[in-house]
Every structure is written in structure tokens, then in C-alpha cells.
Amino acid sequence: MFFADASASSAPANPWFSWQYVQRNSADIAHALEQHVSLTLEAVAIAFVLALPLAALAHLRPRFAGPVLGIAGVLYTIPSLALFAVLAPYTGIGRTTVLIGLVSYALLVLTRNILVGLQGVDPAVKDAARGMGYGRGRLLVSVELPQAVPSIVAGLRLATVTTVALVTVGVVVGFGGLGQLMFRGFRSNYHAEIMTATVLCLLLALVFDLLIAFVGRWLTPWARTAQTATAV
């Protein structure tokens, strides 16, 4: 569903930046931004919940690594418009179709980064844990996953920023968050509407990226200690 057309035709000038447009259409902008944020967070959360066990399976059973990454890679390479066209007859026009597409694209990035993080744990650390009596499951949960946090955080940052951009494509099935403002602006040749949605997308991606980076630093205090010791 598209928002009601803005009264752009009454403006004599059509600037790229217009605070008057923002004030006049604050409700539409807030609704589109809320939709964009909720879609991004939900898609990344679902993709992470799926990617974590898949990466753990590929790590514990290396013979599954190829199929897991292969299937995720195939989903990632499908063009978004084609994927929406395939899903629409089954999931309808709206949020569900967009969400499935976003999860599909985030899945490969997260699965690959989690797997790389697990595979990159220092063998000496794992040997020490085994010497202390850690079983395979406890080793994964207590040693490997914590050590893989930097790689996991990097994957979350990339997947989230990518998802923020991809949400806009959902406009083709009527649920694109800020993409709907962009589409409306292009259709009416209203530059302020296009630029407002674009700037908000950029700011949203930046805020999410900084928040995830901050959480990653908080979860890895040993990394900060190592950096401080190196600097000294």
C-alpha cells in the first residue's frame, strides 16, 4: 500500500533538501521509517537464528559445510525482483514476501561469518579445553562461540547494513519502508522526498552499524585489553 501523494505540486521550487517537506509529511515519514526498522531487525534476527545452528552443524560435521553454504549461496544469488515474483503467488503481496526475501539474503553472510569464526579458533585453546575435560558440545558453546564473536559481529554488521538497503526493494510488493517514499518521489519527480528517504536510509544503516560494533566491543573485553597492551 502506498502512502497518499504529498502536495509537492504546490511548491514553486523543487529542492533536494526541504525541511518544509519533512514537517508537512512527518506522519508518512515516521510510518515508513518504523516499517523499515522493524523489517530490518526482524529479518536479521530470523536469519541469525537460522544461521547459528547451520554454521555449528557445518563446523561439527565438515561434510555438511559445502551443502549448507551452497544452498545459502544459491538463495543469495537470486535477484530480489525475481525472488519476490516467485514468492508472491504463495505468500501474497506484503510483509511476509519481503521478509522471506530479506532473510534469504542475510542468511549466507551470517552463516559464512559464523563458520569462519568457529574455524578460526586457536587450536591451542581448543586443546587446552579438551585437556580440562570439555566435551564437543561444551567446547563449542563455552570456547569456540565466544572466540568467534568478532567474526559473528562482523557478519551481523554486514548483514544489517545490506538489509537496510534491500528493504527499499520491497516497494515492488507494496511493503518497502522508506523505499515507498523514494518510489513516490521518483513517480512525482519530487526531489525532496527522494533525498529525505535516501538520507534516512544512510543514517539508519550508520546507526545500526555503530550499535552492533559497540555491542561487539562490549562482548569482547579481551580484545580491547589485547589492543591496549599492543599499543603500550
Q: What is the CATH number of the domain that holds 165?
A: 1.10.3720.10
The Cα 69–Cα 105 span in angstroms is 12
| Residue 156 is assigned to a structural domain of this protein | yes
Q: Which residue has the higher pLDDT, 222 or 212?
A: 212
Residue 161's CB: how many other CB atoms inside 10 A?
Answer: 18
Closest CA to 32 of 171, 162, 158, 161: 171
Q: What is the largest CA-CA distance in the chain?
A: 76
Instruction: Supply the range of the domain harboring residue 183.
Output: 15-227
Domain count, the chain: 1
In a domain, 190, yes or no: yes
Q: How far apart are the C-alpha atoms of 7 and 141, rounded to whole Å? A: 56
Residue 158 lies in a domain: yes
pLDDT value of position 112: 94
Q: Is residue 6 part of a domain?
A: no
pLDDT in tens, 96-139: 889 999 999 999 999 999 999 999 988 898 889 888 888 888 89
What percentage of the chain carries pLDDT values higher than 90? 44
The pLDDT of residue 191 is 84
Is there a domain that residue 22 lies in? Answer: yes
| Domain contains 1 | no
Is residue 163 domain-resident? yes
Residue 232 lies in a domain: no
Secondary structure of residue 14 in the 3-state scheme:
coil
Query: Which position has the grid cell 523514494?
Result: 182
pLDDT digits (tens, 9 = 90+) for 166-221: 998 888 787 888 988 888 888 888 788 889 999 999 999 999 999 999 998 888 87
Q: Pinpoint the alpha helices (H) of 168-220.
A: 178-188, 191-219
Q: What pLDDT does residue 7 have?
A: 45
